[in-house]
Structure 1
Amino acid sequence: MANQHDVLRDTTRLASSTMVLQVVFRVLTFALNAFTLRYVSREIIGLVNVRLTLLYTTVVFLAREAFRRACLSHSAQQSWRHTIHLTWLAVPLGVCWSVILGWVWLHILEVPDPAIIPHYGTGVLAFGFSAVIELMAEPFWVLAQAHLFVRLKVIAESLAIIVRCSVTVTLVLLWPHWGLFIFSLAQVLYTTLLSLCYIVYFAKFLGSREAEKKSFPLHSMMEFLPRRSASQDFLDRKQAWLAWSFFKQSFLKQILTEGERYVMTFLNVLSFGDQGVYDIVNNLGSLVARFIFLPIEESFYVYFSKVLERGKSIRNQKKEEIAAASEVLESLLKLVTLIGLVIIAFGYAYSQLALDIYGGSLLSGGSGPVLLRVYCLYVLLLAVNGVTECFTFASMSKEEVDRFNYIMLGFSLSFLCLSYYMTTWLGSVGFILANCFNMGLRITHSLYYIRKYYHGSPYRPLSGLLPSPAVICVLVLSAAGTRYSEASLCCDLGWAYRLAHILVGALCLSAALAAVVLSEGKLTHFIRSHFLSKKPKQKV
Structure 2
Amino acid sequence: MTSSGKVLASAARSASYNMVLQVMFRMITFLLNAFILRYISKEMIGVVNVRLTLLYSTVLFVAREAFRRACLSVDSKGQWTQTINLIWCTIPLGFFCSTVLGFIWMFVLERPDDALLPHYDTGVLVFGLSAFLELLVEPLWVLGQAMLFVRLKVIIEGAAIAGRCIMTVILVHKFPDLGIIVFCIAQLVFTFIYVSFYYIFFIRYIILRKDEDFPLKSIRDIFPRSIPGQYWADIYSSRLVWSFFKQGFLKQILTEGERYVMTIFDVLNFGDQGIYDIINNLGSLAARFIFLPIEESGYLFFAQTIRRGEVAKKQPEESIDLASKALEALLKCVVLIGITILVFGYAYSFLLLDLYAGTLLSSGTGPLLLRCYCMYVLLIAINGTTECFVFAAMGKQEVDSYNRKMLVFSIAFLTSSYFLTKSIGSVGFILANCLNMLARIIHSLYFINNFYKGSSYSPLSGLVPKLPVLLVYLFAGVTTIFSEVTFCCDRGIYFRLIHIFIGGLCLLAVLVTIFLTEKKLISFILDQWNEKRKDKQDKKDL
TM above 0.5: yes
C-alpha change, 1:531 and 1:420, in structure 2 (3 Å) is: farther
Report if the CA contact (8 A) 1:75-1:146 is conserved.
Answer: no
Report if the CA contact (8 A) 2:76-2:83 is conserved.
Answer: no
Matched, 1:515 2:521: no
Counterparts of 1:264-303 in structure 2, within 5 Å, are 264-303=262-301
**Count of equivalent residues:** 537
C-alpha deviation, 1:188, in angstroms = 1.4
Query: Take 1:179 and 1:531, find their aligned partners in 2: how far apart are those partners?
Result: 47
Partner of 1:159: 159
C-alpha deviation, 1:76, in angstroms = 7.7
Q: TM-score, normalised by structure 2?
A: 0.97
Partner of 2:232: 234
Query: Take 1:148 and 1:422, find their aligned partners in 2: how far apart are those partners?
Result: 44
Partner of 1:445: 443
Query: Take 2:99 and 2:78, find their aligned partners in 1: how far apart are those partners?
Result: 33
Query: Take 2:430 and 2:528, find their aligned partners in 1: how far apart are those partners?
Result: 33
C-alpha deviation, 1:209, in angstroms = 4.7
Partner of 1:248: 246
Report if the CA contact (8 A) 1:308-1:317 is conserved.
Answer: yes
Question: What SS class does the counterpart of residue 312 from structure 1 fall into?
Answer: coil
C-alpha deviation, 1:446, in angstroms = 0.3
Query: Take 1:535 and 1:167, find their aligned partners in 2: how far apart are those partners?
Result: 41
**Structure 2: 5+ residue runs without aligned partners?**
none
Query: Take 1:531 and 1:157, find their aligned partners in 2: how far apart are those partners?
Result: 25
Partner of 2:398: 400
Report if the CA contact (8 A) 1:86-1:240 is conserved.
Answer: yes
Report if the CA contact (8 A) 2:390-2:448 is conserved.
Answer: yes
Describe the superposition over 1:264-290 as per-residue Cα deviations: whole angstroms up to 9, x where unpaired.
Answer: 000111110110010010110010010
Matched, 1:317 2:309: no
Counterparts of 1:338-487 in structure 2, within 5 Å, are 338-487=336-485
Query: Take 1:316 and 1:478, find their aligned partners in 2: how far apart are those partners?
Result: 44
Partner of 1:92: 92
Report if the CA contact (8 A) 1:13-1:530 is conserved.
Answer: no
C-alpha deviation, 1:527, in angstroms = 2.2
Question: What SS class does the counterpart of residue 98 from structure 1 fall into?
Answer: helix
Report if the CA contact (8 A) 2:302-2:393 is conserved.
Answer: yes
Question: What SS class does the counterpart of residue 206 from structure 1 fall into?
Answer: helix
C-alpha deviation, 1:233, in angstroms = 1.2
Partner of 2:114: 114
Describe the superposition over 1:106-152 as per-residue Cα deviations: whole angstroms up to 9, x where unpaired.
Answer: 00000110111110000000000000111110000000011111121
Report if the CA contact (8 A) 1:11-1:303 is conserved.
Answer: yes
Matched, 1:200 2:196: no
Describe the superposition over 1:501-538 as per-residue Cα deviations: whole angstroms up to 9, x where unpaired.
Answer: 11100000000000000000111122223368444658
**Structure 1: 5+ residue runs without aligned partners?**
none
Report if the CA contact (8 A) 1:381-1:436 is conserved.
Answer: yes
- Given residue 160 of structure 1, which amino acid in structure 2 is its aligned partner? A
C-alpha deviation, 1:77, in angstroms = 4.5
- Given residue 382 of structure 1, which amino acid in structure 2 is its aligned partner? I
Identical pairs, percent:
55
Query: Take 1:303 and 1:75, find their aligned partners in 2: how far apart are those partners?
Result: 14
Query: Take 1:16 and 1:222, find their aligned partners in 2: how far apart are those partners?
Result: 33
Report if the CA contact (8 A) 2:308-2:392 is conserved.
Answer: yes
Report if the CA contact (8 A) 1:305-1:395 is conserved.
Answer: yes
Query: Take 2:209 and 2:65, find their aligned partners in 1: how far apart are those partners?
Result: 32
Query: Take 1:531 and 1:431, find their aligned partners in 2: how far apart are those partners?
Result: 40
- Given residue 45 of structure 1, which amino acid in structure 2 is its aligned partner? I
Query: Take 1:387 and 1:99, find their aligned partners in 2: how far apart are those partners?
Result: 34
C-alpha deviation, 1:86, in angstroms = 0.9
Query: Take 1:482 and 1:100, find their aligned partners in 2: how far apart are those partners?
Result: 50
Matched, 1:335 2:345: no
Report if the CA contact (8 A) 2:18-2:289 is conserved.
Answer: yes
Query: Take 2:401 and 2:176, find their aligned partners in 1: how far apart are those partners?
Result: 51
- Given residue 128 of structure 1, which amino acid in structure 2 is its aligned partner? G
Query: Take 1:438 and 1:345, find their aligned partners in 2: how far apart are those partners?
Result: 22
Question: What SS class does the counterpart of residue 211 from structure 1 fall into?
Answer: coil
Describe the superposition over 1:284-305 as per-residue Cα deviations: whole angstroms up to 9, x where unpaired.
Answer: 0010010010000001101001
Question: What SS class does the counterpart of residue 226 from structure 1 fall into?
Answer: coil
C-alpha deviation, 1:360, in angstroms = 1.1
- 4+ residue runs over 4 A deviation: 535-539
Q: TM-score, normalised by structure 1?
A: 0.98
Partner of 1:496: 494
Matched, 1:43 2:20: no
Query: Take 2:55 and 2:85, find their aligned partners in 1: how far apart are those partners?
Result: 26
Query: Take 1:243 and 1:470, find their aligned partners in 2: how far apart are those partners?
Result: 45
- Given residue 173 of structure 1, which amino acid in structure 2 is its aligned partner? H
